[in-house]
């Protein structure tokens, strides 16, 4: 069988990455309308983001088993099919179909989260840092696109919110077709494609659980901000359209940090970098609840800081000495990490409902960010770690 050139596989992989955030980030700008139409309270609204995160956690543990049976390339194809199906189901306006579609989307993204780093490690081991940086950047593009498009489609084009969310159905099916075609030439193309290491083995390593904390805490802060930022900014006097644009900007601003994850972990000054990022992020969180104008600077600072934590987490997952370890480490780190992260939107929603504002929610996120900093410093110092020595 004729094999497709590696650049073609990389392009297809990055295209697949384009649809693993937008179906989630497209929801928060429409959340007030969804709450009204479906009769959702604050805690139920938090579940809109928490449900996919629970899926990220639960199904991440099952992904290595599926990948071992059908291969990582076919597994990603199944994940893309689940995402497309979930987007289609959400076009029906009903509480049950909305959450069912969200569940399918979460399932698909959970599987994609685990296998994409494994595919990158398997096919692009010699250029892994660059590929993981590109992967993280495309994730940011996907997240930003979802945030940017929803309100203009609702307010400008006058689409109903189900159609505005469903706009991602076409791209999802297109990406599925591209990936299915291109990846066929690469299935089993790597010499002695490694068997998946058992999860039990990597779970016995201390560094794996440090990576869990790094992945989980940064995800908790990120997805909580994504879920509640439009509502928070509306409370600060922003219009719905402006809040939606701010959500997109929050994602786009993470681009610079997205390319620096591996370099920061390998740096002799990583502790200083990590402490600085955490401190600036926390200052930005504080500005979000200080009024209309300070909130704009808060979006700027939080956005600039949010790309690096994800890049660090993904780099720590992908840089295993044995490629066979990557799916299992990815499953444990993302499975347990996203289960931890799933607490964020619901806890923030409960605090918001109890206090009537987001001040206590921001304190909760600030404490989580400082805990992330401690875990990230530790992952670079772990004696059984996989991160190269500082240079």
The pLDDT score that the predictor gives to residue 381 is 61
Question: What class, spelled out in words, does domain 6-381 have in CATH?
Answer: mainly alpha
Q: How confident is the model at residue 197 (pLDDT cuts 50, 70, 90)?
A: low
Share of the chain above pLDDT 70, in %: 91
The pLDDT score that the predictor gives to residue 112 is 92
| Residue among 63, 1, 8 nearest 183 (CA) | 8
The answer to whether residue 186 scores a pLDDT higher than 70 is no
Output the DSSP codes for 43-104.
Answer: HHHHHHHHHHHHHHHHHHHHHHHHHHHH-HHHHHHHHHHHHHHHHHHTTS-SHHHHHHHHHH
Q: Which residue did the predictor score with more confidence, 389 or 132? A: 132
The answer to whether residue 277 scores a pLDDT higher than 90 is yes
Assign residue 71 a region (left: φ > 0; alpha: ψ between -120 and 50; beta: otherwise). left
CA 309 vs CA 10, 67, 254, 275, 314: distances in Å: 23, 27, 10, 12, 9
Report the range out of 231-240, 252-261, 312-321, 325-334 with the highest average pLDDT: 231-240
The answer to whether residue 60 scores a pLDDT higher than 90 is no
User: Residue 387 corresponds to which tokens in the numbers above?
Assistant: 């991160």
Q: For 385, which DSSP code?
A: -
The pLDDT score that the predictor gives to residue 293 is 93
Contact 165, 105 (CB under 8 A): no
Q: What's the pLDDT tens digit per position in 331-380?
A: 888 889 988 998 998 899 899 989 888 999 999 999 999 999 999 988 86
The answer to whether residue 391 scores a pLDDT higher than 70 is no
Q: What's the pLDDT tens digit per position in 153-171?
A: 998 889 999 999 999 999 9
The pLDDT score that the predictor gives to residue 2 is 41
Contact 339, 326 (CB under 8 A): no
Mean pLDDT, the chain, rounded, equals 85
CA neighbours within 13 Å on the CB side: how many for 51?
A: 19
Q: What's the pLDDT tens digit per position in 95-148?
A: 899 999 999 999 999 899 888 888 887 888 788 778 877 887 888 888 888 878
| Residue among 75, 111, 64, 87 nearest 338 (CA) | 111
> How many Å apart are CA 326 and CA 330, to the nearest integer?
6
Q: What's the pLDDT tens digit per position in 24-36?
A: 888 888 888 888 8
User: Residue 348 corresponds to which tokens in the numbers above?
Assistant: 């923030």
The answer to whether residue 389 scores a pLDDT higher than 60 is no
- With H, G, I as helix, E, B as strand and everything else as coil, classify residue 40: coil
Measured from the Cβ of residue 280, the count of other Cβ atoms closer than 10 Å reads: 15
| Residue among 217, 234, 197 nearest 329 (CA) | 197
Output the DSSP codes for 242-262.
Answer: HHHHHHHHHHHTTHHHHT-HH
Q: For 27, which DSSP code?
A: S
The answer to whether residue 195 scores a pLDDT higher than 90 is no
Q: In which residue are the tokens 């959400």 written? A: 90
Share of the chain above pLDDT 90, in %: 37
Q: What is the pTM of this model?
A: 0.76
- With H, G, I as helix, E, B as strand and everything else as coil, classify residue 28: helix
Contact 147, 248 (CB under 8 A): yes
| Residue among 251, 242, 27 nearest 150 (CA) | 27
Q: How confident is the model at residue 188 (pLDDT cuts 50, 70, 90)?
A: low
Phi, psi values for residue 2, rounded to 5°: -70, 130
CB within 8 A of 272, min separation 6: which ones? Answer: none
> How many Å apart are CA 281 and CA 135, to the nearest integer?
22
User: Residue 357 corresponds to which tokens in the numbers above?
Assistant: 């504002």
The answer to whether residue 294 scores a pLDDT higher than 60 is yes
Contact 59, 340 (CB under 8 A): no
Report the range out of 45-49, 139-143, 194-198, 223-227 with the highest average pLDDT: 223-227
The pLDDT score that the predictor gives to residue 5 is 47
């Amino acid at each position: 069988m004729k094999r497709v050139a590696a650049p073609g596989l990389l392009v297809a992989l990055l295209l697949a990455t384009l649809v693993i955030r937008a179906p989630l980030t497209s929801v928060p700008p429409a959340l007030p309308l969804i709450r009204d139409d479906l009769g959702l309270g604050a805690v139920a609204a938090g579940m809109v983001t928490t449900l996919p995160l629970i899926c990220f956690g639960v199904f991440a543990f099952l992904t290595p088993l599926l990948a071992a049976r059908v291969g990582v390339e076919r597994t990603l194809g199944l994940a893309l099919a689940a995402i497309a199906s979930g987007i289609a189901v959400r076009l029906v306006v009903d509480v049950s179909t909305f959450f069912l579609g969200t569940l399918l989307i979460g399932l698909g993204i959970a599987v994609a989260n685990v296998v994409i780093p494994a595919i990158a490690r398997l096919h692009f081991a010699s250029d892994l840092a660059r590929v993981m940086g590109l992967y993280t950047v495309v994730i940011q593009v996907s997240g930003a696109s979802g945030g940017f498009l929803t309100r203009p489609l609702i307010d400008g084009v006058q689409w109903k919110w189900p159609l505005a969310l469903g706009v991602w159905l076409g791209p999802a099916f297109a990406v599925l077709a591209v990936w299915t075609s291109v990846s066929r030439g690469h299935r089993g193309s790597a010499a002695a494609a490694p068997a998946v290491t058992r999860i039990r083995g990597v779970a016995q390593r201390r560094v794996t659980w440090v990576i869990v904390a790094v992945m989980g805490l940064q995800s908790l802060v990120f997805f909580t901000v994504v879920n509640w930022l439009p509502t928070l900014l509306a409370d600060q006097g922003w219009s719905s359209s402006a809040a939606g644009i701010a959500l997109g900007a929050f994602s786009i601003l993470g681009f610079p940090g997205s390319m620096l994850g591996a370099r920061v972990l390998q740096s002799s000054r990583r502790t200083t970098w990590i402490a600085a990022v955490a401190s600036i992020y926390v200052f930005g969180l504080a500005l979000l609840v200080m009024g209309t104008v300070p909130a704009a600077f808060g979006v700027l600072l939080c956005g600039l800081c949010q790309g690096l934590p994800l890049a660090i987490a993904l780099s720590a997952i992908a840089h295993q000495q044995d490629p066979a370890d990557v799916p299992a480490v990815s499953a444990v780190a993302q499975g347990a990490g996203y289960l931890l992260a799933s607490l964020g939107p619901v806890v923030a929603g409960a605090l918001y409902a109890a206090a009537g504002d987001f001040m206590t929610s921001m304190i909760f996120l600030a404490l989580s960010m400082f805990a992330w900093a401690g875990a990230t410093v530790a992952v670079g110092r772990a004696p059984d770690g996989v991160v190269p020595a500082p240079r």
